[in-house]
Amino acid sequence: LGPTICIGEILAEIVATTTGHGFAESQPLIGPFPSGAPAIFIDQCGRIGGKAAMIGAVGDDDFGRMNRARLERDGVDVSGIAVDDTLPTGSAFVRYRPDGDRDFVFNMWTSAAGNLRWTDAVEAVVSGAGHLHVMGTLLVRPGIWDMTDRAAQIIKARGGSISLDPNLRKELKDDGETAARLAQILEMTDVLLPSGDELQLAAGRSDRQAAIDALFARGITEIALKDGTRGATVFTPGAAPVHADAFAVTEVDPTGAGDCFGGAYIAARRLGEQIATALDLACAAGARNVTVRGPMEGAGTRQELEDFMKANRRITH
């Protein structure tokens, strides 16, 4: 039916090589790396062999060229990425604290990413797309929400499907408008990719099974629940859950695990893989990506993920 598309921010990420608090002092850095949650998702999708296209905006600068070149190299259609000649590509400085939490210095919403518009190029990509992956965090941005909603309507009308990674714990608790947008997109969602308590939050039910049943009743056909080093489980109506244990790896940089998991899972399912196979590839993609510094540097091809699965044992609980 056409490629999987993702709409949202593309940015250059510069990472501290030491852990600590913030950027107030001069310190060794590494990067720039291509980044942005939607870009990580779509890069993994393309890299594993799925048809993929990105909708976003970069500046007419090296950070923009780096991002476009990476996505193109990995098989992503970049015709929906606008090159803005008035604003720079978004950027983020990231430093991990000793407890694993992160400090950021962002330049996003006064960058090209904050100036994303529905253009003829966007229209062309969306009207040929078969699947839209929605990032919950972007529902808080009115401009991106409008584009997401418009793309969702077009894709559903042509028989396409939608996946949603809610990624919205904090925002959902204190923002009624975001919750309303989430409810609207949930009505159109086919595949949900929650982690932690997002499943319960999305359904508005505190009991997990009640939440799953409520989401199935709303038309969701597949729930892939991510659980970090405990692996992931896929729930489908009327069938036993399918679980995959995580792979035992040394985590170097946790950024992008959930997005690589999602990109691999959606691409594999759309390529016709069974749930168990797609889930194994997704767990491998998430785990492989955390072994490499940089948000999408560890995204794997099908062959790289197969090799990774052979070389790494699973964590059993």
Q: State in angstroms the smallest separation of the CB of 315 from ligand ATP.
A: 7
**Number of helices and strands (H, E) in the chain?**
11, 13
Q: How far is the CB of 194 from ligand ATP (least distance, A)?
A: 8
Q: How far is the CB of 163 from ligand ATP (least distance, A)?
A: 13
User: By C-beta, is 125 or 224 nearer to ligand ATP?
Assistant: 224
Tokens of 261: 């998991």
Give the shortest CB-37-to-ligand ATP separation in angstroms.
Answer: 8
Give the nearer residue to ligand ATP in terms of CB position, either 125 or 192.
192
CB of 19 to ligand ATP, least distance (A): 16
Tokens of 47: 């890299």
Q: Which is nearer to ligand ATP, 49 or 228 (CB)?
A: 228
Sheet with 242-244, strands from edge to edge, namely 76-84, 52-59, 4-7, 131-135, 161-165, 191-192, 222-226, 232-235, 242-244
Residues contributing to the site for ligand ATP (CB under 6 A): 195, 226-229, 231-232, 246-247, 249, 251, 254, 256-259, 261, 283, 286-287, 290
Q: What is the largest CA-CA distance in the chain?
A: 56
In whole angstroms, how far apart are CA 310 and each of 189, 275, 304, 307? 34, 19, 10, 5
Q: Rounded to an integer, what distance in angstroms lies between the CA atom of residue 216 and that of residue 203?
A: 10
For residues 86 and 191, give the distance between their C-alpha atoms in angstroms, rounded to a whole number: 37
* Spatial separation of the C-alpha atoms in residues 191 and 229, rounded to whole Å: 22
CB of 24 to ligand ATP, least distance (A): 25
Closest to ligand ATP by CB, 112 or 264? 264
CB nearer to ligand ATP: give 35 or 178. 35
Question: Which of residues 90 and 231 has its CB atom nearest to ligand ATP in the complex?
Answer: 231
Orientation of helix 275-290 relative to helix 302-311, angle to 10°: 80
